[in-house]
Amino acid sequence: MARNQLIHELKQSGITHPAVLNAIASVPRENFVLSKLKDKAYDNVALPIDKEQTISQPYVVALMTQALFNHPHPQKILEIGTGSGYQAAILATIFKEIWTIERIEALYIKAKHTLQKLNYTNVHCTWADGNKGWLEHAPYDGIIVTAATATIPPALLEQLSPQGGILVIPLGATHEVQKLTLIKRQDNHYEKSVLELVSFVPLRSNTD
């Protein structure tokens, strides 16, 4: 019931891609939220997780995922800010191979465990500073940054595929409203557009 209501709300907010709607309908968000908040798992809101971080609002997860389809054939995706692992699970349901980076060790361990338990075998987790990207598996068709920053980390631009690579990133001062920005790379040309106003926790500059 709650899931159907959420899907209905997302459609009304402009989420139209069937793969994205199917992923939201199939990933059990209750496994990614704190046990005391399970009854709110399908509310269209961000919720607190451990270490003063948050699991993003389903609408924002869906919007960022849908934006990746601006690439002609997205397969390899990098996420910065694993958090609960929910966004990674959504990506794993749709795309071929997912790499995700978290700077807080306890969150990395918990998310990795949740993703393994639910059998998302195409997600690769690491504990590191996402500002540096993950060079080993680059280039990526898409990179999603789920934490806010005033400036785009140069490594992320470098690790985007020169053939239509898409970066989705909340740009702006932290703890305020940021502009969810889409950047499309063609060779060494980067085209920018703003998708939505959002509010993310800050992208920090090292591991804990």
Residue 41 amino acid letter: A
Tell me, residue by residue from 113 to 152, as one string, x for binding to ligand SAH by CB under 6 A and - for no binding: ----------------xxx--------------xx-----
Does position 180 interact with ligand SAH (CB under 6 A)? The reply is no
Shortest spacing between CB 189 and ligand SAH, in angstroms: 27
Nearest alpha-carbon partner for 14 in 64, 54, 88, 85: 64
Catalytic residues: 56
Does position 86 interact with ligand SAH (CB under 6 A)? The reply is yes
Does position 203 interact with ligand SAH (CB under 6 A)? The reply is yes
Stretch that binds ligand SAH, among 98-106, 115-123, 163-171, 181-189 (CB under 6 A): 98-106
Shortest spacing between CB 185 and ligand SAH, in angstroms: 21
Does position 53 interact with ligand SAH (CB under 6 A)? The reply is yes
Q: Rule CB under 6 A: choose which of 78, 91, 183, 201 binds ligand SAH.
A: 201
Three-state secondary structure call for residue 50: helix
Place of tokens 């409203």: 177
Measured between alpha carbons, how far is 133 from 120 in angstroms, rounded to an integer? 21
Does position 99 interact with ligand SAH (CB under 6 A)? The reply is no
Q: Rule CB under 6 A: choose which of 20, 41, 55, 94 binds ligand SAH.
A: 55
Report how far apart, in Å, the C-alpha atoms of 102 and of each of 40, 85, 149 are. Answer: 24, 10, 15
Q: Are 139 and 159 in contact, with CB atoms under 8 Å apart?
A: yes
Q: What stretches of the chain show up as alpha helix (H) in DSSP?
A: 2-12, 18-26, 58-67, 86-94, 105-117, 154-158
Shortest spacing between CB 98 and ligand SAH, in angstroms: 12
